[in-house]
Structure 1
């Protein structure tokens, strides 16, 4: 009987669940709605039901599944499997994620930060394959990061190493949920980009995006900025330049600090591609230490939106099984 792994990427909008074989190749996958605006009981019920569904639709026995890995955004106690806090969920406090899933299926279960499991996936099968020193930055609703150094994932004393999203870029900048202000993630992220667009519009600059949202700025999205950029919209071009340069300054600090051989840029906002990465690379070329930047390249992620699901299974194999 062939052995399997289940990988789960618990996102704010969708829960991505995959069934992988013992070589960690995806056999089947699905998405279920998270309902993050409700509470932890609803979200965890959706997660458990999603796992039940993929097991049922593939005709897999729970006895075949060696381990379940789950990527969760936010702060956590990895050893106990408890998600302490997640900015993506309402009514979510000290949730025993691993225990709930393990009790439902009687399968060893482990959790880790969502960005770290993304990096596990890219490191095993994607843009980080064959590299020992890899920094991954995910640009989505916020900015997350994780670092593999000398072939080992960095965790730190409180499992919060490589939190680049909270690098202080401005002494008195935008307030951040972490309690500080001026954090990189408040600018270089989907929310940050939209906020920057709004600041330009508040300064009475004109943009085609105003017409697209019928003067309702609540309907602005980061994806619109890329579209407007391609139509030579001046506000979009300025916003991408500002955002890309700030990303470049953040990456320069990270490159100087961690000395990676590769930086992988992932997440939905990364689909902006060179609109964002070209100014970022230009800043890195002028501000990162020469000896560090010359051994480092900056590349897009390869596995796309399923990287976290794959990486969660990789993590489960390494952590629970010792693979």
Structure 2
């Protein structure tokens, strides 16, 4: 009997879910509201509902599922199956996700950080195929990252390796929820870029975006900055270049430290494409070690919003395979 794999990408707004065969062809994909404000137990129930709907939509029985992988934001212990803390989920602390799922399923459930499951997706089925040394950045509300070194995903002592977004760029910069200030992610993210733009407006600069929002700064988005950039708006161009330059300085440090062959830029803000990446590449080429920079390409992610579900399935499949190999020894 064929065995199938479920991938779950848990977001603050939506739960994305996919059912895949052993070749990682999607048989069914869906998205349902997370309803995070109703608490952890409700969110876990929503995940189970997503699995039920995947099976109903594909005609696959739960007994045919080999394993399920889940990408969860925040701090976690993937070996224990424990989500320690997830900042955008009210009351979400010390949630033992794997144990909570065990009474409902006969198949194994595995969890990892949401950015790392995106990394697994892009590495195996997207822009990172065939590479042994690569870094994925996800630019959205914040800046997340995951790293592959010598063909292995880096985890670190507390499974927190790769927090490029918390690299300090300014000694006394914008405060960060991590407790520090001046973190890269407070500037290089959709929220960070919009804040930079607003700061310049408050200092007296002008932009055609003001006519779109009728002077209401709350309505300004990163997408608007991209659109204004295309229309030649000087402030939008300046902010996009500044954001790309700062990311370039951060990546120059990372490239010098880890010597990757590829940096993949994903997340919603990656849609800015070369508007952002040209400044990133120029800064890396000017400031990273010449040999390292010459062998490192900076590219856009390929899988878009599917990276998380596909990557979660890849991760679960690999974990299951290792478990089976361990048991056979």
**TM-score calculated relative to the size of structure 2:** 0.96
d(CA) in 1 for partners of 2:217, 2:90: 24
Partner of 1:274: 274
Q: How much does 1:13 deviate?
A: 1.5
d(CA) in 1 for partners of 2:262, 2:3: 33
Partner of 1:148: 148
Q: How much does 1:146 deviate?
A: 0.6
Residue pairs, 1:171-190, within 5 angstroms: 171-190=171-190
Structure 1 residue 118 corresponds to structure 2 residue 93: no
d(CA) in 1 for partners of 2:37, 2:241: 33
Q: Which runs of 5+ in 1 are unaligned?
A: none
Q: Is the 8 A contact 1:38 1:91 kept in 2?
A: no
Q: How much does 1:311 deviate?
A: 0.4
d(CA) in 1 for partners of 2:212, 2:94: 41
Structure 1 residue 91 corresponds to structure 2 residue 91: yes
Partner of 1:289: 289
d(CA) in 2 for partners of 1:150, 1:103: 38
Q: How much does 1:103 deviate?
A: 2.5
Deviations 1:191-223 (A, max 9, x none): 101111110111111112222222222221111
Q: Name the SS of the counterpart of 2:90 in structure 1.
A: coil
Q: Is the 8 A contact 1:109 1:320 kept in 2?
A: no
Name which of structure 1's ranges 19-28 and 278-287 shifts more when overlaid on structure 2: 19-28
Structure 1 residue 100 corresponds to structure 2 residue 100: yes
Instruction: Calculate the aligned-residue CA RMSD, in Å.
Output: 1.2
Partner of 1:252: 252
Q: Name the SS of the counterpart of 1:55 in structure 2.
A: helix
Q: How much does 1:36 deviate?
A: 2.7
Structure 1 residue 8 corresponds to structure 2 residue 8: yes
Q: Name the SS of the counterpart of 1:105 in structure 2.
A: coil
Name which of structure 1's ranges 169-178 and 99-108 shifts more when overlaid on structure 2: 99-108
Partner of 1:208: 208
d(CA) in 1 for partners of 2:103, 2:181: 40
Q: How much does 1:60 deviate?
A: 1.1
Q: Name the SS of the counterpart of 1:5 in structure 2.
A: strand
d(CA) in 2 for partners of 1:206, 1:222: 16
Residue pairs, 1:207-226, within 5 angstroms: 207-226=207-226
Q: Name the SS of the counterpart of 2:157 in structure 1.
A: coil
Deviations 1:26-78 (A, max 9, x none): 11100011123442222222111111111122121111100000001111011
Q: How many pairs align?
A: 323
Name which of structure 1's ranges 269-278 and 18-27 shifts more when overlaid on structure 2: 18-27
Deviations 1:259-309 (A, max 9, x none): 101111100001000110000000000011112111111111111111010
Q: How much does 1:91 deviate?
A: 2.1
Q: How much does 1:142 deviate?
A: 0.4
Q: How much does 1:90 deviate?
A: 2.1
d(CA) in 2 for partners of 1:220, 1:299: 27
Partner of 2:327: none
Q: Is the 8 A contact 2:28 2:57 kept in 1?
A: no
Q: How much does 1:175 deviate?
A: 0.4
Q: Is the 8 A contact 1:67 1:321 kept in 2?
A: no
**TM-score calculated relative to the size of structure 1:** 0.97
Q: Which runs of 5+ in 2 are unaligned?
A: 325-329
d(CA) in 2 for partners of 1:216, 1:41: 38
d(CA) in 1 for partners of 2:125, 2:262: 15
Partner of 1:163: 163
- Runs in 1 of length 4+ with deviation above 6 angstroms? none
